[in-house]
């Protein structure tokens, strides 16, 4: 089995890569930092030396780089079983106050990257009449909150993208799932480790385990959307 994961060197993306490596998936992953990719590849191969791990430095906000990454994915794998559009950025701020360009930056990274990569890989998935597309959205995809700003806009749009894909790909036997996590320990929360108890946020592994369960449903079942929140509620 083969999987493509964007933003796979840290946080949720890395936890997903670790889990799929343990389960024997060959992986093509990307990140903006070569050192992070090297470290991730070494760790993934230490988890399972029998798999193949292909890495690429990609700025997913750049369409040309996303399309080139898609070409690499198709050249590296005989088929793509799972595509996980995980890469994203969060820039807090109210719409009236956020920095100029915040909307464009988050739309390019959080939405357009998933759109362009999915479109690049879809013809082969349609031809093989199988596949699974997982889009990493957020609780910000269905609710507004203070300082959510353009981040919420981009995640609402990503959820809409997933809904359209789900309807279009039913007949092609390609499953589509939208994951909407609440606060999860990741690189974005690094500065809060000493200020919040570990129990206040979910673990990245929780998201990875959820995805693994979804991938193992029968062929006749699909989880269209899943919402995960910390047990004690949103921050």
Q: How much is the average pLDDT of 147-162?
A: 93
Beta-sheet strands, E only, within the chain: 2-6, 26-31, 53-57, 82-85, 131-136, 174-181, 225-228
* Annotated domain spans of the chain: 2-228
Q: Tell me how far apart the alpha carbons of residues 192 and 94 are, in angstroms, rounded to a whole number.
A: 21
- Which residues does 10 contact at the CB level (< 8 Å), separation at least 6? 31, 36, 186, 187
Active-site annotation holder among 25, 112, 115, 151: 151
Is residue 109 packed enough to be buried (19+ CB in 10 Å), middle (13-18) or exposed (0-12)? Answer: buried
pLDDT for 195 beyond 80: no
Beta bridge pairs of residue 179: 136, 226
pLDDT of the residue at 156: 95
Q: For residue range 59-77, what is the model confidence (pLDDT) as tens digits?
A: 999 999 999 999 999 999 9
Q: Tell me how far apart the alpha carbons of residues 11 and 179 are, in angstroms, rounded to a whole number.
A: 15
Q: For residue range 43-54, what is the model confidence (pLDDT) as tens digits?
A: 999 999 999 999
Of the chain, the percentage scoring pLDDT greater than 90 comes to: 78
pLDDT of the residue at 129: 95
- Which residues does 176 contact at the CB level (< 8 Å), separation at least 6? 132, 133, 134, 135, 162, 165, 166, 169, 222, 224
Conformation bin of residue 120: beta by default, left when phi > 0, alpha when psi is -120 to 50:
alpha
Per the model's pLDDT, the better-predicted residue between 2 and 231 turns out to be: 2
Q: Is 151 a catalytic residue?
A: yes
Of the chain, the percentage scoring pLDDT greater than 70 comes to: 96
The verdict on pTM exceeding 0.85 is yes
CATH 3.40.50.720 fits 2-228, yes or no: yes
Q: Between the CA of residue 104 and those of 23, 108, 155, what are the distances in Å?
A: 37, 6, 13
- pLDDT band (50, 70, 90) for residue 193: low
């Amino acid at each position: 089995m083969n999987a493509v994961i964007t933003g796979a060197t840290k946080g949720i993306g890395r936890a997903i890569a670790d889990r799929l490596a343990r389960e024997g998936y060959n992986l093509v992953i990307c990140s903006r930092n070569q050192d992070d990719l090297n470290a991730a590849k070494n760790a993934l191969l230490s988890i399972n030396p029998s798999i193949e791990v292909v890495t690429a430095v990609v700025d997913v906000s750049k369409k040309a780089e996303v399309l080139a990454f898609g070409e690499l994915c198709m050249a590296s794998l005989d088929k793509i079983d799972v595509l996980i559009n995980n890469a994203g950025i969060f820039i807090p701020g109210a719409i009236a106050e956020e920095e100029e360009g915040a909307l464009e930056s988050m739309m390019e990274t959080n939405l357009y990257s998933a759109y362009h990569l999915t479109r690049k890989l879809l013809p082969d998935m349609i031809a093989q009449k199988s596949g699974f597309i997982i889009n990493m959205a957020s609780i910000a995809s269905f609710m507004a909150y203070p300082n959510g700003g353009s981040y919420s806009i981009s995640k609402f749009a990503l959820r809409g993208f997933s809904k359209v894909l789900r309807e279009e790909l039913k007949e092609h036997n390609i499953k589509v799932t939208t994951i909407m996590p609440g606060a999860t320990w990741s690189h974005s929360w690094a500065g809060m480790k000493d200020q919040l108890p570990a129990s206040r946020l979910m673990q990245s592994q929780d998201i990875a385990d959820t995805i693994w369960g979804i991938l193992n449903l029968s062929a006749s079942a699909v989880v269209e959307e899943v919402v995960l929140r910390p047990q004690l509620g949103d921050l």
